[in-house]
Structure 1
C-alpha cells in the first residue's frame, strides 16, 4: 500500500471514530425523557374561556409536579411554574421506577408545605383549606401517585387531576301554590352549613380529614341583606348562563359555594335558606329557615349517599302550600358533570 492510500485510510478511520463519539455523546445527553400531560377531569385551559359561567375553574395558574423514587422515600425531581407548558423531565436512568404526583392552583401556604416535602409520606400530611377555594383558585390534585418504569426514549405520562372541592349551586327557585296562588315569597339569604374546613391535598387512599371542623359558609352571589329575591307563581327565579333574555322571570347571578367532601351522616353539608311568605295584600305571613341536605335528593343516583369531591350539585327549589307550616321545600338535585369522576389515577 502506497503512502497516499495509507493516508486516506487513516483519515477515513478518524472520521468514523468522530461520528461514533458524536452519537455516543448525543445518546448520553438525551437519555430517557418523561413528557408529562396534566389533565383535569372536566377540562382545563391556560386562559379564560368566555363561553362558560365559571371560566376561572378551567384555568391552570400554578402547578407543582413532584417525582419520587421507587418506594416514594426520596424526591428525585420537582417542577413548578405558572401557566402550563409542555413538561419534560430528564436526568432519569433507564429501568428506574418513579412515582409522580401533580397539584394545580394551590394556595401559597399549601404550596410552601408541598415544596418542603421530601417523600410521599410527608406529602400525605399536607392539608388544603376550604377558605382558599374560589373560582380563580380551585385546587386540583392527583389522588394517587402514578408509578412508571422509565424506558429508553420518550415516556408519555398523563396525570389526571380531580378538584378537592365540590360546587353547590342553586339554579332555580319557584313557588307552586295551589290554594294561595296569589301569595309570594322573598328569599332573604342562602348559606351552606356544616362544610368541612380542610381536606388532604394528596389522598393516597385517605381523602377526608376526620378531625376537620365544620363551618357555615356564605354563598357567592347570594341575596344581599335587605334586598331579597321575590318569587311567585308567575315569577320564577332562574339563573341564566348563556346571556339570553327571559320573560316574566328574574335574572340573577347564580348563587354557589364550594364544599369539601363530607361523609358525616350525623352532620351532612346542608343548604340553609331563609325566606318570608307574603299574602296578596303585602302582609307578612311568616318568616322561617329551610334546611336542605345537599346530596339527599340526587336524581337518578340513589347510591350517592354523601357529598363527594369533584361533583357539581345543582339544586332546584320550590315552595308549596304547606312549606312554611312544615318547614320543607320541594327539592330536586341534579349532578352537573365537571367530567367523569374517578378516585384513581390512570396512565395512558
Structure 2
C-alpha cells in the first residue's frame, strides 16, 4: 500500500472571512455614500445653483443635449469647471491615501502605520514644495509629481532603515522613527517656505501644506486616476501574498513567497501613490490610518475585500470632509487637512489605546 505523501503547505486562512453578502452590502452602502457626497459637493457652495440646473449643465457637457441658454455662464463655470473637478479630485485623493495606508500597514505589519505617521507625506511635501519655491522644473508640468514621489521614496527608505536596526522590524521603533523623520522634514519644509520671495506664494504653499483641493481642475484628474488604477490592479494581483505577509516573513518563505522582493514592490507603489496624491492635495493626514482600520472592521483583513472597501470609504470620506471644509465657516474655507486631523486625532488615540490594551492586557 502506497503511503500518502503530504501536500504542499497551505496558507493559513486566519479568521473566517465575512459572508459575501456583508461585503456586497459594504460596497453598496459606501458607493451610495460616495454618490450622495459627490452630488452634495456639486450642489453646495457660495453660489447657489438649483439642482435641476446642475443636472442639465452636466448632461449638456457629457452628451451635448440641452439648451446652454437655460443657465448663465457663471453657473456653468462654477458647476463644471470648479465644483465637479474638485469633488472628483477629493474622491481620487481619498481613495489613493486609503489604499496607500492599507498597503503600508501590510508592508510593516502594523495597523498603526500610515504614510503620514511614517513620514511619507512630508517627504513628498518637501519634494513638491522645493519645485514650487525654487521654480526648477526640468520635467515641466510633471516635475512636482516626480519630486513628490522621490521625496516620499527617500523618507520611507530612511524610516525603514532606522526601524530595521538590529535586523528586525520593531513596530514601536517604526512609529518613533517615522515621527522623528516627519518632524525633521517638517522643519525642512518650513525652511523652504521661508525662502519664498512672494508673499502670495508663501500663503498658497502654507494653505496647500495643510491640505487643499482648491486648485482642482480637469487637467489634474488624469494622473491620479491612472496611478490609482494601476496601483489597485497591482495590489489586487498580489492580494494573497499580502495576506501571507501579515503572518511574518518566515511563514511567507515557507509558502514560497519572496517577502523581500514583495516588500520592494510595495515600497515603490506606496511611494508613487502617496507622492502623486500629496502633490495634488497637500498634507491630508489620518485617512491612510483610520480608513483602512474601519474597512478592516467591516470586511476583515483579506486584501481582496479590504482594498476595494478601503478605496470606496476613503473616497467618500474625503468628499464629505471637503464639503465640511468649504461650508463650516462660510465664506471662509478651511484646509481639508485641518478637518481630517480634528476627526482623525481622537480616533488615532483610541486605536493606540485599544492596540496597547490588546497587546499588554492593561
For the pair shown, which has the larger CA radius of gyration, 1 or 2? 1
TM-score, with length taken from structure 2? 0.25
TM-score, with length taken from structure 1? 0.26
Structure showing the higher strand proportion among its residues: 1
Structure showing the higher helix proportion among its residues: 2
Higher RCO, 1 vs 2 (CA within 8 Å, ≥6 residues apart)? 2
